[in-house]
Amino acid sequence: MTLWILVISGLFSLVAFLLINSSIRLSIYAKRFIIKTMQMVGATPGFIRKPFILTNIKLGLIGAIMADVFIGIVLWRVKQSIPELDVLGDWKQVAWLLLGVPFIGMSIAGISTFLAAQRFLKLRTSELYD
């Protein structure tokens, strides 16, 4: 049973990563002309990348906070409905879960944004319309 839960959790995590990565790449793709214009006037890659990374990390944090609220509500409702499960019994595990979700969300957003921005920074002007 535990193996199946681990496999399904891994599959859901992969799907979440792919969705986050795709939406970030699409967002940066929409601003590829701005990126190229900034490069033409002499902006460094770090200067161009920084606002994209900060914005998407903030969005990752907001999404993670919303997920934490939802997880907290579900855990509280399960405790109220089925007290025998004692889902809130081990506070350390709950705390690690609620702290880990924002960390993972911001990490995925930051890494995906860095990679997507790097891709469009290396793009030639002739490839902008492809």
Q: Where are the domains of the chain?
A: 2-127
Residue 80 has pLDDT above 80, yes or no: yes
Q: What whole-number distance in Å separates Cα of residue 54 and Cα of residue 120?
A: 17
pTM: 0.82
Which has the minimum average pLDDT: 31-40, 57-66, 87-96?
A: 87-96
Query: pLDDT at position 60, please?
Result: 93
Encoded tokens for 37: 């214009």
Q: How confident is the model at residue 126 (pLDDT cuts 50, 70, 90)?
A: confident
CA dihedral 29, 31, 32, 33 (to 10 degrees): 150
Q: What whole-number distance in Å separates Cα of residue 66 and Cα of residue 50?
A: 24
Q: What whole-number distance in Å separates Cα of residue 75 and Cα of residue 7?
A: 22
